[in-house]
Each structure stands twice: as structure tokens, then as C-alpha cells.
Homo-oligomer: A and B are copies of this chain.
Amino acid sequence: MGNIRDIAKKAGVSVSTVSRVLNHHPYVKEDKRQAVLKAIEEMNYTKNMNAVHLSKGQTFVVGVVLPYINQSYFSAVLEGIAEEALASDYQLMICQTNYEIKQEIQALEMLKMKQVDGLLICSRACDWEVIREYQMYGPIIVCEDGRGTDVSSVFIDHYAAFEKGLHHLIEQGHRRIGYCIGRRTGVNSYQRERAYRNIMNELGEPIREEWIFDQCLLLEDGERVASRLIKLTSRPTALLVTNDQVAAGLVLQCQHLGIRVPEDLAIIGFDNQSISHVLQLTTIELPLKELGRQLFQLFLHKDNVKHIEVSTQLIKRLTV
């Protein structure tokens, strides 16, 4: 393995020129830069890819920031990203944040440190200000309505999607409506809660906290909701459930408990996962895989700032 002196000698340049090339110093003449890179390649200077990345400034790795891999919402987005990454020969660096700002900053630092060529943030914990600071180091695409910022984004209008579900229930005569959600903090959840409160206010219905079920992420959580519902003295006649897995658990447990769906309880799921198709669940389709694909495409084309909305759709089946 040659050292920097050997490279300099072979390339016919000074040691400090080699150093400048390896450190991306701007003031290096292009022919000298090429000579250095050629010498490195010919000498098989180092088998350490970190050194190759130093010289090429590109890793063919994209960072994906998400709270956890094991939530169906994020794993569906990740699937779409993974499909495109496979097609474009990129690898994925998964940065699980556990919804912690510290972890998200660590991912942003990876971009700054050139460990990844770009960052796809599926759920943001940091302020826009922080994210904008890191944009100079490479493309960052955010999975959230970024209009009004200079950060590129692909997003679902969660307010409109929730409104769509609520209006369908109201058209079917429901007024006593509750909802199930993953967590009550976070941008998406806030939009959904706002839609719920506004429409309940328009209806003149009170907000009943016992009809809002949080920590609903998995099939088992739907079962838990059914068991809690049956104990309520005053029950909702309809539930919006922000995840088809949870809605499926709810539907199946209602069968066990003798709650008739949709007669006693109308249910609208979200996502249009295959389980909702099999169970004939009315659902709001969220094109999450498409969202993931678009995130990767925006990264790949490194265009100017762009905002892409992917549209949702009410799919009427048998649970309303």
C-alpha cells in the first residue's frame, strides 16, 4: 500500500496537492485532480472504502430517518424507498430515532460527515430551522407538508384525509364519532386532531376524551379498544382508526364480543393494507409506498425545492 508521497510522485504533483484532493479543497486544477485520482486507482492506494468516498465524495448510501422500523406506516414508506433504492443501486442507512431529537441530529450529522449522500426524513422531530441548517451538506427530503419552507417534501394532507373519513360517517347519519390514533403528539396527529375538533364543533357535538384512543399501533391494540368500548356506558356509533392493522383487530374482536359492525359500530381504517381488503374494511387509502418512491426520486434528481402531495382516497367496503 502506497502512502501519500508515493501518490504524489506517481501523479507528478506535490504532497499537498494530494492532500487537497483528498480533502475536497476547491483550489485544485482539474488535470492535477484527475492525475491524483488516477494514481490512487492504479496504485490500489487503499482498500478502505472510506478513503474512496473521501476522494469521490459520494457513498451511494441514502439515510432514512424514521422513529421505528416496526410500525406499519413507516415500514410501508420504507418499502417504497427500498424498491427505488434497489433499482438505482443505492444502499439504505436506517436511522431509527425513537422520536428523539438527539437521534435525528445524529442522522443530520451523518449527512454533514458525508456518510450518506442524502437524507429522507419520514417523521421529523427537529425544528425546520435545524433541518435547513443541514441542507447545505446534501439533499434532505421531508415526509411532511413542507410548503412555505425551502425544504423539499412529499406529503399527505392528513387534515383532508381525516375530514374525508368524518364526512363519510356524517353522511351515513353518525354524530357520535370517536377515533383511534398512534400517539397524540407529532405533526400528523395534530392535523388529525384539529380536523376532528373542527368538525365536531360544526356538528355541535362535545369532544369526549374517552372516545379518543391513543397508543393504537398494532392489531392487538384494536382488540384492546374493543374491550374498552364494551365497558363504556355511552359508546360512539363510529370510529375512525388511523391504521388498518388496528381496525382489523377491532373488527375481529367486535365479532367475539357481539358488537355488530357496522350496525352497532361503524369503522373506517387507514392505509388500505391488504388485510382491509380481505376483511372488507372501509378505509382511507394512503399511498405510502408511492410516498416512499417519490421521496427517493426527489433525492435522486436533486432538483430545486419541490413539494409533492400524494392523494388519499376513500374506499367504501362493508364496515360503514
Name A's B-contacting residues (CB within 8 A): 1, 3-5, 15-16, 19-20, 23-25, 46-54, 59, 61, 68-70, 75, 78-79, 82-83, 85-86, 91-96, 98, 109-110, 112-115, 218-220, 223, 245, 248-249, 252-253, 274-275, 277-279
Main secondary structure of the interface of A (DSSP, over half): helix
**Smallest CB separation, A7 vs chain B (Å):** 9
A113 and B47 contacting across the interface, CB-CB below 8 Å = yes
The complex is assembled from copies of this chain, and their number is: 2
B95 and A93 contacting across the interface, CB-CB below 8 Å = no
B3 and A23 contacting across the interface, CB-CB below 8 Å = yes
Q: Taking CB as reference atom, which chain B residue is nearest A95?
A: B91
Q: Which of B23, B46, B78, B94 contacts A91 (CB 8 A)?
A: B94
**Smallest CB separation, A25 vs chain B (Å):** 7
B5 and A19 contacting across the interface, CB-CB below 8 Å = yes
Given contacts A23-B3, A48-B114, A113-B47, contact A93 B96 (CB under 8 A): no
Give me 18 A-to-B residue pairs in the complex whose CB atoms sit less than 8 angstroms apart, sorted by A's number. Answer: A3-B20, A4-B16, A15-B15, A23-B48, A48-B54, A49-B110, A49-B113, A50-B51, A51-B54, A52-B113, A70-B75, A91-B93, A92-B96, A93-B93, A219-B275, A219-B277, A219-B278, A252-B279
B46 and A23 contacting across the interface, CB-CB below 8 Å = yes
How far, in whole Å, are A268 and B278 apart by their CA atoms in the complex? Answer: 19
Q: Which of B5, B54, B79, B278 contacts A249 (CB 8 A)?
A: B278
How far, in whole Å, are A23 and B93 apart by their CA atoms in the complex? Answer: 25
How far, in whole Å, are A47 and B54 apart by their CA atoms in the complex? Answer: 11
Q: Taking CB as reference atom, which chain B residue is nearest A46?
A: B23
How far, in whole Å, are A98 and B82 apart by their CA atoms in the complex? Answer: 11
A78 and B82 contacting across the interface, CB-CB below 8 Å = no
